[in-house]
Amino acid sequence: MTAFSRTDLHQHVQIETGGGPIAGDLVLPEQPLGVVLFAHGSGSSRLSPRNRAVAESLNARRIGTLLIDLLTSNEERADLATAEFRFDIELLRIRLLLATDWLQRHEATRELPIAYFGASTGAAAALEAAAQRPEIAAVVCRGGRPDLARNSLKFVQAPTLLIVGDLDYPVIPMNRTALEQLERAPEKRLALVTDATHLFEEPGALEEVARLSGEWFEHCFATAQRSPRTPK
């Protein structure tokens, strides 16, 4: 369990979308290096135990996190019944950009570099959003579907780490192809986690995801602080 000091910020937030608010949980350790905005996968939410475990690991490295529901409460209820929004990458991208704008306005985060962590279909939304925002410091995708963002991959300028379980056979070639298409990313890497399947439920697998992600974000935030990008 991560120990937080009295100066750490824990805040439940609401971000307006025009169709209703989306809820988020913001955690900022003392003197944060940057903040990571999470884009969860289809059928999941900000309460995903896997994403929250990764977020806690990042917080221990002095990295802030914003776990956000990309659907409104009404949309979530509809999605449970019909699954109509789970592969609506365009909607998820728009919501992720709204959350990015919120971070860039919020007093506690507006001076911090921002990165994305996307899981499953949320990875496609993260890559599509990053393609529109050259100021994004880094992208990490866990078990992602970057193939769903194929038209945007060549425009991504953020250093990008793709993490896949080496037993997640259908997803590995999708990520290898996506890696080749990240033409403008200054750094890019595909990391295969040994003996892991799609959800990284095997012993030690999620901890390896958290370690790889933390090291990537630390490196990229340090680079962003030295040479900050100018937002659009």
What are the extents of the domains in the chain? 21-79+94-226
DSSP secondary structure letter of residue 16:
E
For the cut 80, the answer to whether the pLDDT of residue 12 exceeds it is: yes
- The topology under which CATH files domain 21-79+94-226 is Rossmann fold (3.40.50)
- Model pTM? 0.91
- Average per-residue pLDDT in the chain? 89
Q: What pLDDT digit, counting tens, does each position of 22-55 carry?
A: 999 999 999 999 999 999 866 566 777 888 999 9
What is the full DSSP assignment across 63-84? -EEEEE-SS-HHHHHHHHHH-T
Q: What pLDDT digit, counting tens, does each position of 116-129 carry?
A: 999 988 999 999 99
Cα gap 75→65, rounded to integer Å: 24
